[in-house]
Amino acid sequence: MSSSQTKRPLSSAKAGPISGDIRVPGDKSISHRSLMFGGLAIGTTKVTGLLEGEDVLATADAMRKLGATVTRDDDGTWHVTGVGVGALREPGSVIDMGNAGTGIRLMAGIVATHPITTFFTGDASLCKRPMGRVADPLAEFGAKFITRDRGRPPMAVIGTDEAKPITYTLPMASAQVKSAVMLAGLNTTGTTTVIEPKPSRDHTERMLRHFGVDVDVKVNDDGGRTVSLTGPAEMKAADIVVPTDPSSAAFPLVAALIHRDSNVTIRDVCLNPLRTGLITTLIEMGGDITITNEREEAGETIGDLVVTGKNRLQGIVVPADRAPSMIDEYPVLAVAAAYAEGETRMCDLEELRVKESDRLAAVAAGLEANGVIHRIEGDDLIVTGGAVPGGGMVETHLDHRIAMSFLVLGLGAEKPVAVDDANPIATSFPSFEKLMGDMGAKFALHS
């Protein structure tokens, strides 16, 4: 989103039950990858269910600037005609990735092993985020990076045409870093290997296979994974049906759990086991959530979520090793915890500090402003649940998940909860207000 856009303060007020049978928009991770991989493949890839949020639209523009043809039919079907691995053309202008960390980091991997120079920028949030985590391994392939402020965008990537394959052990659980390295490996002669000590979402591995790339995945003795592919790879166009986004489903899910008469069905949700940490956690907390209609589509597990608010949530300890499977869901889990009985401890949230905002600080500030008892111990967040006073104004810091989480908090609070800017919601869930409003949520522009 544009950082210069006027802020749009919005508040939410105590609502009755949340009820409906809904589809949230397409999965953001899968949407980004379908455009990138379609643009690298030979032939035309048809994508249905694409998330038409600002982050993904920035990726569509980026792939166009690199030579792919990306079009949209009136019915929302997208077509991507690729140029083939190795054949991207040098963009004639700066690529603006907006608010999208996934966009800029995966794109950096793709261009790093093409003999072109690419300039990336983004909004005020993206320009604070660390790129060294991708620049360091990509430099080992032979690419060069110019960044500002010790690794922040704007960032120039000077790609190499003599890429050397690497073996890289991830210093943190990150699907973005893993993917950037794998994507650089596509146009590198030889075998590129990524060792991840803790498994992170594997959409890249699954979708590369769908496009005909031989990706080898081994589960290591310590539970981590070793992922490798051999380049130069040839990718063949392959149609994609994007499942709906579990990270967006999280908001109606938690909203339903905080009112005892709520009853919501959320359709066609991506249930990749490396994305379902929040569902596991909410069920452990006593939430009445049932998965129905489970099936496989285009290499991903999909199903419907049926949730009611009949059970009061109970505080639990959320283990550190679950973090990668629910990394974007902690802000809204903190909201669920605010309504639970007792204490919820969320362990090892260090990675939250480098998202669209410092989410640990932003969540703590939002809870504080609304009278929710909480504390931070090291990288753990501990929330004590009960009645939520509300009445506070929450700073969103250009972070969609902070905005949506605190609007959900307001649905059960004694006094309305306001967020200073609802615009960032358009990055991942443009229909959030309408969809939640149709189910009974109460939002109002805040003056």
Tell me the catalytic residues: 328
- Nearer Cβ to ligand S3P (175/404): 175
Which one of ligand S3P, ligand PEP, none is in contact with 428 (Cβ closer than 5 to 8 A by kind)? Answer: ligand PEP
- 102 counts as binding ligand S3P under rule CB under 6 A: yes
Question: If you write DSSP's letter for every residue of 352-386 in order, what string do you get?
Answer: GGGSSS-HHHHHHHHHHHTT-EEEEETTEEEEE-S
User: Strands (DSSP E) along 271-361, which ranges?
Assistant: 288-297, 300-308, 317-318, 343-346
- 176 counts as binding ligand S3P under rule CB under 6 A: yes
Minimum Å distance from CB 136 to ligand S3P? Answer: 14
Maximum Cα–Cα distance across the chain: 62
Residue type, 387: A
User: Using CB atoms, what's the residue nearest to ligand PEP?
Assistant: 101
Binding to ligand PEP, residues 10-69 (CB under 6 A): 28
Which one of ligand S3P, ligand PEP, none is in contact with 175 (Cβ closer than 5 to 8 A by kind)? Answer: ligand S3P
Residue linked to tokens 């994507």: 183
Minimum Å distance from CB 25 to ligand PEP? Answer: 12
Q: Which residues contact 434 (CB under 8 A, 6 or more apart)?
A: none
Minimum Å distance from CB 328 to ligand S3P? Answer: 5
Output DSSP code: residue 72: E
Is there a contact between 215 and 143 (Cβ–Cβ < 8 Å)?
no
- 428 counts as binding ligand PEP under rule CB under 6 A: yes
Instruction: Take residue 134 and report the two structure tokens written for it.
Output: 């991708």
Which one of ligand PEP, ligand S3P, none is in contact with 401 (Cβ closer than 5 to 8 A by kind)? Answer: ligand PEP
- 327 counts as binding ligand S3P under rule CB under 6 A: yes
Minimum Å distance from CB 8 to ligand S3P? Answer: 23
Q: Is 157 left (phi over 0), alpha (psi -120 to 50) or beta?
A: beta
- 133 counts as binding ligand PEP under rule CB under 6 A: no
Considering only residues 175, 240, 271, 383, which one is a binding residue for ligand S3P as defined by CB under 6 A?
Answer: 175
- Nearer Cβ to ligand PEP (355/397): 355
- 397 counts as binding ligand S3P under rule CB under 6 A: no
Establish whether the linkage from the previous residue to 324 is cis, with ω within 30° of 0: no
- Nearer Cβ to ligand PEP (304/356): 356
Which one of ligand PEP, ligand S3P, none is in contact with 118 (Cβ closer than 5 to 8 A by kind)? Answer: none
- Which three-class secondary structure state does DSSP give residue 99? coil
- Nearer Cβ to ligand PEP (104/418): 104
CA distance 407 to 13: 8
- Nearer Cβ to ligand PEP (102/431): 102
Tally Cβ neighbours within 10 Å of residue 73.
10
- 205 counts as binding ligand S3P under rule CB under 6 A: no
Instruction: Take residue 57 and report the two structure tokens written for it.
Output: 């639209």
- Nearer Cβ to ligand PEP (131/436): 131
Considering only residues 174, 193, 263, 325, which one is a binding residue for ligand S3P as defined by CB under 6 A?
Answer: 174
Residue 13-32 contact track with ligand S3P, rule CB under 6 A, x = bound? ----------------x---
- 356 counts as binding ligand PEP under rule CB under 6 A: yes
Please give the C-alpha separations between residue 244 and each of 60, 231, 233, 299, 389, in angstroms, as whole numbers.
19, 31, 29, 14, 33
Considering only residues 95, 100, 307, 352, which one is a binding residue for ligand PEP as defined by CB under 6 A?
Answer: 100
Q: Which stretch binds ligand PEP (CB under 6 A): 13-21, 84-92, 96-104, 389-397?
A: 96-104
User: Which residues make beta-bridge pairs with 403?
Assistant: none
| Cα atoms found within 13 Å of the Cα of residue 309, Cβ hemisphere only | 22
| Cα atoms found within 13 Å of the Cα of residue 320, Cβ hemisphere only | 11
Tally Cβ neighbours within 10 Å of residue 215.
19
Positions touching ligand S3P (CB under 6 A) are 29, 102, 174-176, 179, 201, 327-328, 351
